[in-house]
Structure 1
Amino acid sequence: MPDWLFKIADIALTLFLVYLVLFVVRDRVAVRLMRGFLLLVLAHQLAALYGLPYLSALLDKLILVSAVGIATLYQSQVRRILEKLGRGEFIDLLTPSEARGINPENEVLDRIVDSVKDLSQSRTGALILIETTSTPIDQKDFLRPGVPIDAEVSKELLKSIFYDKNPLHDGAVLIRDTRVIAARILFHLSEKTGFRQLGTRHLAARSVTAQLDNCVCVIVSEETGSISLAKRGELNRPLTSSELRELLADYFKSGDRESVTTSLSDFSRRLKSQGKDLLTSLAHLKLPFIKKD
């Protein structure tokens, strides 16, 4: 087989692996990161091809640092990929996470909103993290996983957890489906400049929703009693209890999770188009690494 076919196969397998990682991570930021990473790899190959040793060496180190940075940023997803590969669950890697969360017609949503309304009126600080997909949040992603609760969501339970004399009030609660999974959870706080002007609860909410793509976070300010909703690192505030319910209901009803499916489809179409252009160019240009028999 001609050497240039091996080169093309190498490129195709690399792109496939990149696409697989993006499919598993399913994060919009990851799409942009991998695009930048691929550009670095391409620039490195071109520098090596045209005999630019210093630039090639610099890009080589930059690629290594970038790979470590991406792996650190998405350590939970990387861990999940490696675990599934280790168990031989290759099909599961290509199975998208099903949308899940609170049924907007279910009274659980009313219980959450009613408790938030009461907490707001009494100016009791609260932080409620709600999962939105069938893939559960790995509590190893938290600074402290908190105290297991595993109880049905109720207005009384949420109000009692955040009562300032309750030892569990300091931190967040995690809601999965219709159950409170844990309380007194602590999140890693972001160092982003735009986040530093926020209070601790709002900072924690923006940080965790910026890090994790499958959740939303409801915040009640202890100082003002204002209600906020964080999603993908963005805050929507101040909200009334009715506005909060409408946002949550619309979110879970419409599945408005800004999935990266469109981004991935667009990414794959571009790769396909650019791949065809590359093959066409290789067929007409006599590049150094192509040796015809």
Structure 2
Amino acid sequence: MQRVIDVSLVLLLVYLMLALSSDRRTLLMIRGIIFLLLASIISNRIGLSLLNFVLDKLLVGAAVAMAVILQPELRRFLERLGRGDLLSLLHPMQSRPAEVESDSAIDEIVDAVKELSQNRTGALMIVETGEPIDEHNFSVLGVRLNAVLSKELLQTIFQTTTLLHDGAVLMREDRVIAAGVILPISDRAASREIGTRHRAAMGITERVSSCFCIVVSEETGSIAIAENGGLDRPVTSARLREVLETKLAAYRPVNLGRTVSRFGWLWEKISLKTLVTRKSTPRK
């Protein structure tokens, strides 16, 4: 019984880490540590003492590195724990942002991108599709706006006469969170036709899977969509609308760390509130 409780608590901690993580590199690191742990257990069972010794030391180093690298996730976890918000830790659906008013936001984005494309005005937009992007994934956060999303605002920001036109715009739900955001450039080999904006879009989507980027080329006016480090171009405005509707209408997380929220129906049945308020039925 004690062993069952021990394993259950470890699985609960892993679940919470996955639920709070939106970075693909974080998920790969967790997967790597789990692989090392399994390899260590197997080597111990079959008597490979030297290999088991090496793996144990690697696990200690990996645990220390994980505590340093996963500071944002640990900080969010401790903040919720300190607030006593235990239900949101066990119930990912409650901690998700509300579904966006997608129709108006999609119209504003598509109209802005169409006009920017027709005028051959370069643009780079980051659209969040899940957990908010941690600021550490940006080279420079830029200028905070937290303004209502509109095509006029987007067109104004990317005019070459403004100070913010060279950076990216960060959009969350129906808000423009920041402008002039400087993104990390992708190291992936790409065509010479791809400019800095396209490489920056690939760079941020390589790091964070809970977003995609819209890029407008200032040379050709073509529209591109970057997701998971890949680039889809050229894209029509109709295709852009289709992508936005798919990703924003339901506002569903798309990475491994957030897929646990698909089991929200299960948590509804076993939530603390349900257990407390449910009355026992008397036996006949």
Please give the range of the TM-score, normalised by the shorter of the 2 chains. 0.7 to 0.9
Alignment of 1:174-213 (within 5 A): 174-191=170-187, 193-194=188-189, 198-213=194-209
- Local SS of the residue matching 1:238: coil
**Aligned counterpart for 1:105 among listed residues 103, 117, 134:** 103
Over aligned residue pairs, what C-alpha RMSD do you find? 3.3
CA distance in 1, matches of 2:227, 2:98: 16
- Does 1:114 find its partner at 2:111? yes
- Local SS of the residue matching 2:221: coil
Deviation at 1:75, TM superposition (A): 4.2
Percent identity, please. Answer: 43
Partner in structure 2 of residue 149 of structure 1? 145
- Local SS of the residue matching 1:163: coil
CA distance in 1, matches of 2:261, 2:169: 35
- Does 1:128 find its partner at 2:125? yes
Q: Is the 8 A contact 1:137 1:214 kept in 2?
A: yes
The alpha-carbon distance between structure 1 residues 229 and 74, as it changes in their structure 2 partners (threshold 3 A), is: farther
TM-score w.r.t. the length of structure 2 is: 0.76
Q: Is the 8 A contact 1:47 1:53 kept in 2?
A: yes
Pairs aligned (count)? 260
CA distance in 2, matches of 1:262, 1:208: 18
Deviation at 1:33, TM superposition (A): 4.8
- Does 1:231 find its partner at 2:231? no
CA distance in 1, matches of 2:132, 2:259: 23
Report 1 or 2 for greater relative contact order, CA contacts < 8 Å, sequence distance ≥ 6: 2
TM-score w.r.t. the length of structure 1 is: 0.74
**Gap regions ≥5 residues in structure 2:** 263-284
CA distance in 2, matches of 1:67, 1:156: 48
72-81 or 170-179: bigger deviation: 72-81
**Gap regions ≥5 residues in structure 1:** 267-293
CA distance in 2, matches of 1:257, 1:86: 25
Deviation at 1:22, TM superposition (A): 1.8
**Aligned counterpart for 1:138 among listed residues 134, 150, 158:** 134
Amino acid at match of 1:55: L
The alpha-carbon distance between structure 1 residues 262 and 81, as it changes in their structure 2 partners (threshold 3 A), is: closer
- Local SS of the residue matching 2:233: strand
- Local SS of the residue matching 2:212: strand
- Local SS of the residue matching 1:239: coil
Alignment of 1:81-100 (within 5 A): 81-96=77-92, 97-98=95-96, 100=98
The alpha-carbon distance between structure 1 residues 177 and 23, as it changes in their structure 2 partners (threshold 3 A), is: closer
Partner in structure 2 of residue 20 of structure 1? 16
Deviation at 1:117, TM superposition (A): 1.2
Partner in structure 1 of residue 282 of structure 2? none
Amino acid at match of 1:233: G
Deviation at 1:64, TM superposition (A): 3.8
175-184 or 69-78: bigger deviation: 69-78
Deviation at 1:132, TM superposition (A): 2.6
Amino acid at match of 1:145: L
